[in-house]
Chain A
Amino acid sequence: DIVMTQSPDSLAVSLGEKATINCKSSQSVLYSSNNENFLAWYQQKAGQPPKLLIYWASTRESGVPDRFTGSGSGTDFTLTISSLQAEDVAIYYCQQYYSVPRTFGQGTKVEIK
């Protein structure tokens, strides 16, 4: 199984400041046939299911604000929120969909400082 490890477990950022979340996979999720990384980011707010933010490591899902940016390749990935808003308070998860079983990181809780 591919193990996904996120860091940090939690972070507190001032409104308007940048938040950075890291995700590392235990093996590469880069699919050589199309040169895409099968890595997604999700946002989960209290009492709701996770919501897809980013797929293929860096493609924003329709309707997701452009302050959310995904980057990275192979085994190391980053989700950046460029200017934190109050509505961004949530837990963020990375997931690999390169192989089964699908696996998720443990989550990073983002709060307002």
Chain B
Amino acid sequence: KAGVTQTPRYLIKTRGQQVTLSCSPISGHRSVSWYQQTPGQGLQFLFEYFSETQRNKGNFPGRFSGRQFSNSRSEMNVSTLELGDSALYLCASSLLPDSTYEQYFGPGTRLTVT
């Protein structure tokens, strides 16, 4: 069974640009969560999607947005990029958005903003 896949794996963007990251969950998984990992802050929760609806959102500005498609694939978008957005963005999937279902993480997308 294929794991969580994230594309692209690496990305370099310039300040002010926007970026879209993609996440394909494990087959059959319907819940997708996004996290940002930076050296100083560790992993921080961005948002969670289930059935194409955002269920929860972390403490991030509105420049960070996401969506989920009917096949459970998810994208996150960051507009007006800032240097501080440079991070590893991790996606995690689980069967359902229930605490009893373990989350499986993808390898992440490394975003560098110059």
Decide whether A and B assemble into one complex.
no
Chain B residues close to A by CB (< 8 Å)? none
Chain A residues close to B by CB (< 8 Å)? none
